[in-house]
Amino acid sequence: MQDLTLVTQGFTPPLRLSDYKLAAFDMDSTLINIECIDEIADAAGRKAEVAAITEAAMRGEISDFKDSLRRRLALLKGVPVAALEAVLKERLRFNPGARELCAALKAAGLKLVLVSGGFTFFTRYVAAELGMDWVRSNELEIVDGALSGGLLMQAWGEICDGEEKRRMLLQCAADIGALPGECIAVGDGANDLPMMGAAGLSVAYHAKPKVRAQAMVAINEGGLDRLLSLFQPRAA
């Protein structure tokens, strides 16, 4: 089995990295090794219940991501903030090649966007570590040191779902004068498909079957930095 499975849709590798100006990434199970909400649920003894909803949503079996997130959040009511801190320190790890890929893209002049249906508690750390230029994610409501089971409204809205990911990619592209075709989108779940469909290069990383089927590139084995093998080496 090859590390990199290519689905050709109007392009023939090698590509030129200089043709791209922006790359947008999902976080959970793409840049990092876990689904943060499932690990938070573990602290409440409800991981199996929450993880089942997460899996169904990521496979595209639940079409309303916002509803699926609200259902999961309700099950987390009362979880102490200390549980989030433990997930961050003890369980969150970057997926292989994540740091290398982001560093290479930034060195080539691309802007990076982190768009997540997860939570700012974690995206702030991930974004800082990887040098993201923009971040969009959900803000957990915390009352008296514990999760309320809800989210805080932000200037752009309450929940970052698939359509918000797509909108954020296009907005950031417009801000730097980039066309959608000059963007790369990387994800693993069904809620990544809207932004992947808007980008000039869509990449599925260890993704759900529905996502692999629709992506231009599927990395099924190995690390995220395998994506770099698509591009021509930079001239010396």
Active site residues: 26, 28
Percentages helix, strand, coil for the chain (3-state, rounded to 5) are 45, 25, 35
Residue 30 CB coordination number (10 Å): 23
- Report the C-alpha gap between 126 and 92 in whole angstroms: 10
Which of helix, strand or coil describes residue 153? coil
Residue pair 175/158 in contact (Cβ under 8 Å)? The answer is: no
Ramachandran angles phi, psi of 173, nearest 5°:
-60, -45
Q: Could you tell me the CA-to-CA distances from 131 to 52, 137, 217 in Å, in that order? A: 32, 16, 24
Q: Could you tell me the CA-to-CA distances from 186 to 47, 86, 89, 135 in Å, in that order? A: 26, 27, 25, 14
- Report the C-alpha gap between 31 and 210 in whole angstroms: 19
* Partners of 142 in beta bridges: 147
